[in-house]
Amino acid sequence: MKILLVEDQDDSRDTLRKLIELRRHQVTAVASAEEAERALAEESFAFLILDWMLPGKSGLELCRELRERTDGDEMFILLVTAKADREDLEQALAAGANDYLTKPIDLSRLNVRMAVAERQIRELTERNQARAALQESARTLRDILENTTDGFIALDFAWRFTYVNPEAERLLGRARDELLGGELWEKFPELCGTQFEKNYRRVMAQQEPIEFEASDPAETKWFEVHCYPSGGGVSAFFRDVTERKRAEDERLTTGKLESVGTLAGGIAHDLNNILTVISGNIGLAQLEAPSDAKNLLTCLNKAAQAAQHAAHLSSQLLTFSKGGAPVKKVIDITRVLTKASEFALHGSNVRAEIDIPPNLWPAEVDSVQIEQVMNALMLNARDAMPT
């Protein structure tokens, strides 16, 4: 251990230095307070032995000044004095001395004082090292929290903000100076009654961590939250997972559409088989029908047209099941509308009046889909008419 000895008497200084060195300590010996100050400016000493009576500034004054330094509490100061009055010794302790040693110096008493000093300095060193390690850990943790890509907040037992990192400022849309010291439920009243409040209070009550996902009250953002008890309060890491949730929803929707497409494809194939039988039998009936049975032939023709229309619908189902695009062609819209109205209003007492400009341009459309749209519109219009 490095010890600074301040003694103006040469013989006493040499004797003390030798006695101290017997305990395997490194001693720097000086004769005045001014020399001691210069030595302290160049290096640190854990243990100082000061003679009370020094030329110029006294050891008592030097002791008092040293205690006022920022590192003053880290020194063990032993004051050596020929004074033995109780008032003098109390004055020495009041000036900041850890202990005192009266002259003439007795070796056994010196060894006792040295042993006490060594133990206290060792304990002080360990405390300082632990404090420094704790401060370094706190700095490291703060650096991590300040630069993490997750938002982080800390709340005390009364739900007051004690820490808010920069990412939390961004995600919450509030400056940390505005939040620190404020109560969570006052700063964000919209969270009351939500999953956030329910889970935060659960962590506080049960003192167990919890992970959950929840949307903000406006349902514009989703957050993944890791919440845990901390220092009698609650701390939480959270991140915006809106894009991930949107992608999951899209995958779910895609999966449902694929399932519907598979079902539609199966129905279309079965329907085609049925329509093949129906169309075939209608064709045979048309061949077998007498040429003078006009009403029968008319009915068979309409049945054939309906079967053909059903075949187009089946084709559309197959197109949907395969994820195919509409089959577009340049066609005359007038013809499509006329055909759709005849089919939709067949058998009813409603008649359609179609007024289309003669110079209407052809359009590139899927004729089957346009027919379906017009059929639906006309059927809805027919059903909405008073009977």
Please indicate, yes or no, if residue 93 is contained in any of the structural domains. yes
- In terms of domains, do 222 and 263 share one? no
- In terms of domains, do 12 and 132 share one? yes
Looking at mean pLDDT, say which of 91-95, 203-207, 332-336, 367-371 comes out highest: 203-207
Q: What is the CATH number of the domain that holds 217?
A: 3.30.450.20
Q: What range does the domain containing 364 cover?
A: 326-387
Residue 82 carries which DSSP code? S
Average per-residue pLDDT in the chain?
Answer: 86
Indicate if the pLDDT at residue 341 is higher than 60.
yes
List the single range of 189-193, 204-208, 265-269 with lowest mean pLDDT: 265-269
Indicate if the pLDDT at residue 324 is higher than 70.
no
- In terms of domains, do 9 and 59 share one? yes
Tokens 């330094």 found at: 69
Query: Where are the strands (E) in the chain, listed by range?
Result: 2-6, 26-30, 47-51, 76-81, 99-102, 151-155, 161-164, 210-215, 222-230, 233-240, 329-331, 363-365
Report residue 338's pLDDT band, with 50, 70 and 90 as the boundaries: confident
Quick check: pTM over 0.85? no
- Name 330's bridge partners: 364
Contact assessment for residue 241 and residue 224, using Cβ atoms and an 8 Å cutoff: yes
Please indicate, yes or no, if residue 245 is contained in any of the structural domains. no
Contact assessment for residue 326 and residue 363, using Cβ atoms and an 8 Å cutoff: no
349 alpha-carbon distance from chain centroid: 66
- In terms of domains, do 226 and 343 share one? no
Contact assessment for residue 30 and residue 6, using Cβ atoms and an 8 Å cutoff: yes
Please indicate, yes or no, if residue 138 is contained in any of the structural domains. yes
pLDDT (mean) for 123-136: 87
The angle formed by the CA atoms of residues 145, 150 and 156, to the nearest 5 degrees, is: 60
Where is the domain boundary, 86, 108, 142? 142
Report residue 387's pLDDT band, with 50, 70 and 90 as the boundaries: low
Q: What is the CATH number of the domain that holds 100?
A: 3.40.50.2300
- In terms of domains, do 7 and 115 share one? yes
Instruction: Please tell me the total count of domains within the chain.
Output: 4
